[in-house]
Amino acid sequence: MRPTLPSAPGRNSPIFGVLLALVACHHEPPVTPAPPLPAETEIPVQTMEAECAGLVAALDRYRACPNLDDDDRAWLRSTIEYAQQSYEAGTKGHPDEQAQHVIAVACKRAALSVDHANERCHAGPKPRVDDD
């Protein structure tokens, strides 16, 4: 007769079968879905030219903050130059009305963000970070 491996204790007992059936049949109640997120509100914008000029003006105002260091001012100078070059390149492509609206919204949001950064800058100098 061939030798067999010993079976795990309790594997042949009826209690094991009942426990296995209970575990296998246990279902969590379904999770109720959250209410849908509201759609993003539309930002009122002017023309693409006006909004992108507003972005450059916001960057100029931010560059005048007395709490900026020289690296921040250099970054702002290059960012203003990049924004102007990007706008000029975008207008050469003669975007359609919908694309102009999308660009205007992007410039408006960026200008709002720069205005908030300008407010934080006027509140005081950046905190000092010690490198250990």
Query: Model confidence at 1, in pLDDT bands (50, 70, 90)?
Result: low
Residues 6+ apart with CB under 8 A from 128: none
Using one digit for the tens of pLDDT, what is the confidence trace for 87-101? 888 888 889 999 999
CA distance 46 to 76: 24
Q: Considering the entire predicted model, what is its pTM?
A: 0.65
Predicted pLDDT at 12: 60
pLDDT at residue 11, rounded to an integer: 57
For the ranges 5-9, 25-29, 34-38, the lowest mean pLDDT is seen at 5-9
pLDDT digits (tens, 9 = 90+) for 120-129: 999 888 777 7
Q: What is the CA radius of gyration of the chain?
A: 32
